[in-house]
Amino acid sequence: MAYQKKVTMKDIAQDCNISISTVSMILNQRKDVSFSEKTIQKVVSSAKKLGYETKESILPKKSEKSISSNVTNTIAVFCPNISNAYYSTIVQSIEQAAYLKNYKILILTTYRDKHLEKEMILDLIQMNIKGIIFTMMPNHPQFLEKVAKRIPVVVIGDKTSSLDISIIETSNYLAGILIAEHLYELGHRYISFITTTISTDISLGMRYQRLKGIQHTFQKLCINEDYDIIIKEKKIAPELERNNLFLEHEVGYDLCKRCLEDRNCSKVTAFIANNDMVAYGIMDAVLTSGFEIPKDFSVCGFDNDFASSLLPISLTTVEHFMEDKGRKAFEMLYEKIHEISSEKYIVRIEYKPKLIIRDSTNIAKK
């Protein structure tokens, strides 16, 4: 007797030209997601045709309710990760606002993987998802703009964006200016900017804009003075970010250690991190090297997450209104989901960054 290969979900996915995860959720009747009746029937028919072996209860009978009828209101929230307090705070505030309106959230972490992000969006299109919130700039802006014509979408991002999608924005360029002006007034002229991957790509643009704000400010203020902005960067691949919960802290720590040992950085009196998590790594590196903050080095970050206000050394940083933006993002999405008018519109709301001066910065050491 010839050996007959066992039919798998992968075979069904290829037959239907959809993802394996979609097939799995339909056949296992996941209660927290839903799909169109057409997609469900397509998968069920393919499973029967190919002879997929399953328990009797998995394939719905005609008399049973479809999977989509059992699903309550659900929205999807995209973020690079939830180990960074910036994103976890925004996600939590979205969830709090959604709960009050009897909505549930589905959290999707991309680790800035372009292919994974697009695959997740394609899966959501198959579901009966009510709306999508991006807590960061998307890797595929034009594709997301097309999706937004079918599903309500709101993005939390940078002011430089030209997205044709409703967006809550903050000028990271202005945030860089605020930090630079503060350090300049304290007498700092030699500064190290420590950062994870920096790029002009839209998904990483906020780091680039912060750096440009710092560089342009010192260029403007130090007309007749020597100064230097030394960039220390660690390129981060998605797989590395996925496998390391404390990656940003480690980047800050390692790059700061190198800077302290680099003779070319001997004039540095202040460190600026691309965010608060990296700043905590810098602070640990400075202290474990036998120096004091802010006596020997000043340290600044961006975001103003909860830990930045803690003692013994609180962090000078820039307020980005994480909780407010999260709540507002859901409110905007909720209005778009329930809009009565058929007219489509774009909403742009700007939160202006605010400098928070704390213990980690002081007059530059001579």
| 229: three-class secondary structure by DSSP | strand
Q: Which residues pair with 335 in a beta bridge?
A: none
Selected from 3.40.630.30, 3.40.50.2300, 3.40.50.1860, 3.10.620.30, the CATH number assigned to the domain covering 172-319 reads 3.40.50.2300
For the chain, what percent of residues have pLDDT higher than 90? 65
pLDDT tens-digit readout, 54-90: 544 344 443 344 444 344 689 999 999 999 999 999 9
* Cβ-contact 106, 127 below 8 angstroms: no
For the chain, what percent of residues have pLDDT higher than 70? 91
Q: How confident is the model at residue 170 (pLDDT cuts 50, 70, 90)?
A: very high
* Cβ-contact 115, 122 below 8 angstroms: no
pLDDT tens-digit readout, 235-293: 999 899 889 989 999 999 999 999 999 988 899 999 999 999 999 999 999 999 999 99
Contacts of 73 (CB under 8 A, 6+ apart): 101, 102, 103, 104, 130
**Between residues 43 and 270, which one has the greater pLDDT?**
270
Q: Choose among 81, 27, 89: nearest CA to 58.
A: 27
**Between residues 47 and 58, which one has the greater pLDDT?**
47
**Between residues 229 and 341, which one has the greater pLDDT?**
229
Residue 73 burial (10 A CB sphere; 0-12, 13-18, 19+): middle
pLDDT value, residue 72? 66
User: The dihedral of CA 159, 165, 166, 167: what is its sign?
Assistant: negative
**CATH 1.10.260 at 9-69, yes or no:** yes
Does residue 155 register a pLDDT over 90? yes
**CATH 3.40.50.2300 at 72-170+322-350, yes or no:** yes
Contacts of 261 (CB under 8 A, 6+ apart): none
pLDDT tens-digit readout, 121-140: 998 888 888 999 999 999 99
**Between residues 298 and 60, which one has the greater pLDDT?**
298
Domain assignments of the chain as residue spans, ordered by start: 9-69, 72-170+322-350, 172-319
pLDDT value, residue 209? 94
- Mean of the pLDDT values across residues 95-115? 95
Does residue 40 register a pLDDT over 90? no
* Cβ-contact 362, 294 below 8 angstroms: yes
pLDDT value, residue 32? 64
* Cβ-contact 132, 74 below 8 angstroms: no
Count of residues in the chain? 366
Q: Choose among 215, 211, 232, 218: nearest CA to 187.
A: 218
pLDDT value, residue 53? 67
Q: What is the mean pLDDT of the chain?
A: 88
Six token digits for residue 31: 């209660």
CA 43: distance to chain centroid? 33
Round to whole Å and give the CA distance between 24 and 58.
11
Residue 66 carries which DSSP code? P
Round to whole Å and give the CA distance between 172 and 250.
23
Q: How confident is the model at residue 162 (pLDDT cuts 50, 70, 90)?
A: confident
Same fold, 9-69 and 72-170+322-350: no
Q: Which helix (H) or strand (E) holds 106?
A: strand 104-109
Question: What is the residue type of 200?
Answer: T
pLDDT tens-digit readout, 339-366: 744 456 788 999 999 999 999 999 998 7
